[in-house]
Structures are given as C-alpha cells and as structure tokens.
C-alpha cells in the first residue's frame, strides 16, 4: 500500500522497497515490477526516486551503468594481462629448457670425446 504514503515525505515512502516516490506530484506509488524502468507516463526518471531520496532514478541508472562498465573493463584487462603473462612465462620456460638440453648434449658429446 504505497499510496498510503502519498503527500507525506520521500523518506517515509522509500522505507518500503517496493515503493517509488515521484517529486512531480509528491506521490508514493508501487514500483512497476513488470517494466524495468518506470514509464514516463507514471513519473519522469529525473523526478523519480527509488531506494534513496537524494539521487534521482536517472542518475542512479547512469551510476550503476558506469560501475558495471568499470568492473567489466577491469575484469577484461586482468584476464588479458594474466593470459599474456602466462604465455610469456611459458615461452621463457621453453627457451630455458631448450638451452639446458643443448648444454646437456654438449656435455655428453664432450664426455664421449674424452
């Protein structure tokens, strides 16, 4: 019953997580669960508040998108860096192994010559 909090305050309305506060007409309405974003006919995104009163829905969406983008980019960079380092360390190990095998073969040939 979010409508019971209409004409009161944003803080009282948003104590219930399923409510959306609209500053345009100071109403507390049920969050439209079927649609991810509330339609503009219900309340414009710049005037809608959900979760907290100090940030509008539009800014909340932008902030969440930026955070999600940063997490994705950092994960991608980490994966690429790890794959690059792993490949590089493998090639170094292969080179070192070949070098040791050559030295071993040289020693074997020298011992056979003696």
* Residue 107 domain flag: no
How much is the pLDDT for 36?
79
Please identify which residue in the block is written with the tokens 């010559």.
113
Segments in the chain below pLDDT 70: 86-91
* Residue 104 domain flag: no
* Residue 111 domain flag: no
* Residue 73 domain flag: yes
* Residue 100 domain flag: no
User: Residue 27's beta-bridge partner residues?
Assistant: 22
| Parent domain of 80 | 2-89
Q: pTM for the whole thing?
A: 0.60
Residue-wise pLDDT tens digits, 42-61: 888 888 998 888 988 888 88
How much is the pLDDT for 101?
87
Cα–Cα distance for residue pair 5/13, rounded to 1 Å: 5
Output the six-digit token pair for 114. Answer: 């003696």
How much is the pLDDT for 88?
66
How much is the pLDDT for 97?
83
Please identify which residue in the block is written with the tokens 């503009």.
40
Please identify which residue in the block is written with the tokens 């509008």.
56
Residue/partner pairs of 97-100 with CB below 8 Å, 24 or more apart:
none
* Residue 98 domain flag: no
| 8 A C-beta contact, residue 28 and residue 6 | yes
How much is the pLDDT for 96?
81
Output the six-digit token pair for 56. Answer: 């509008």
* Residue 50 domain flag: yes
How much is the pLDDT for 73?
96
């Amino acid at each position: 019953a979010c409508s019971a909090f209409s004409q009161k305050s944003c803080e009282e309305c948003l104590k219930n997580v399923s409510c959306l506060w609209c500053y345009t007409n100071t109403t507390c309405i049920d969050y439209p669960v079927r649609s991810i974003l509330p339609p503009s006919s219900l309340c414009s995104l710049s005037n809608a508040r959900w979760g907290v009163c100090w940030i509008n829905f539009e800014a909340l969406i932008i902030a969440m998108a930026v955070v999600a983008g940063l997490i994705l980019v950092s994960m991608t960079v980490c994966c690429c860096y790890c794959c690059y380092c792993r490949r590089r360390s493998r090639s170094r190990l292969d080179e070192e192994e070949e070098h040791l095998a050559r030295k071993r073969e040289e020693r074997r040939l020298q011992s056979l010559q003696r």
